[in-house]
Amino acid sequence: MTARSPVAQKDLFAPNPEATMAFVLRLRARGLGDLDVLRALETVPRHLFVPHIYTDLAWRDVALPIACGQTMPEPLLVARMMEALRVAPNHRVLEIGAGSGYATAILAKLAAEVVSFERFQTLAREASVRLRQLGVDTARIVHGDGLAPDASLGAFDRVLIHGALDRMPDAIINLVAERGVIVFARHDQAGKGALMRLCDEKVGGWGESELGPMRASELIPGKSTTF
């Protein structure tokens, strides 16, 4: 078998220009206006984060199944969460639910540092490999319970939670820096999900706003014992 040349390997990681342009234009047409988020989406090759059998769907705005029975959300949803988070280049970001590592790679384009928790060991390991392949050195994946992060991690300016919570754990609240923001999902009594933003307003406590509908699974505490 002939070894893959360095040029071919580099090309593997590069987004297809035509597919990428169409992808970004579709997101803009659906209301995404944050230029920093659009640039990050444009430069992270989503096809590297999806299972091989779904590579041809990587640049479409669809959710895709990944390992451990989990789902990779559609890019528009990821983008909406990033917009709501309002990440600045000097921010530290805590991510709960790394999944394939796609959103982690996007956050790494926007923030100074990203710490991402994943309860499934298989997903955590594979996401870490993808980030290394892409040369991402400002983000790391932790196999652990993201709903109970250790206080030794220090303060985070932003927290992105991929899933629904009825109540925000104190362990997460205690890690949010002054003027920090948490983005997550919540279900109402009828089971409908909404994208939520919590903001530390310093004097007035925590301010909460609903940003629109969002489908999300309830988060499960602890590490997975099956994968």
| pLDDT at residue 12 tops 90 | no
Judge whether 140 and 105 are in contact, CB under 8 Å.
no
User: Tell me: the pLDDT tens digits for 124-147?
Assistant: 999 999 999 999 999 999 999 999
Proportion of the chain in helix, strand, coil states, percent, rounded to 5: 35, 25, 40
pLDDT at 78 over 50: yes
Residues 6+ apart with CB under 8 A from 94: 114, 115, 116, 117, 149, 153, 156, 158, 159, 160, 172, 175
Of the two residues 120 and 226, the one the predictor is more confident about is: 120
pLDDT at 106 > cutoff 60: yes
Q: Is the dihedral of CA 24, 25, 31, 34 positive or negative?
A: positive
Q: Is the model's pLDDT at 13 over the cut of 70? A: no
Q: Which of 6-15, 29-38, 91-100 has the highest mean pLDDT?
A: 91-100
The average pLDDT across 185-196 equals 86
> What does pLDDT average to over the chain?
89
Res 21: pLDDT: 84
Domains by residue range for the chain, with CATH = 66-213 (3.40.50.150)
E runs forming strands in the chain: 64-65, 71-72, 92-96, 113-118, 139-143, 156-164, 176-187, 193-200, 206-213
Question: What whole-number percentage of the chain has pLDDT above 70?
Answer: 92
> pLDDT grade, residue 177 (50/70/90)?
very high
Inform me whether the pLDDT recorded for 156 exceeds 80.
yes
Q: Pick the closest to residue 72 from 8, 137, 162, 2 (CA basis).
A: 162
More confident residue, 214 or 202: 214
| All residues at 6 or more sequence positions from 54 whose CB lies less than 8 Å from its CB, including other chains | 64, 65
- Give the three-class secondary structure for 62: coil
First to last CA, the chain: 33
The per-residue pLDDT for range 25-63, each reduced to its tens digit, is: 988 998 888 999 999 999 999 999 999 999 989 989 899
Element (H, E) at 27: helix 17-29
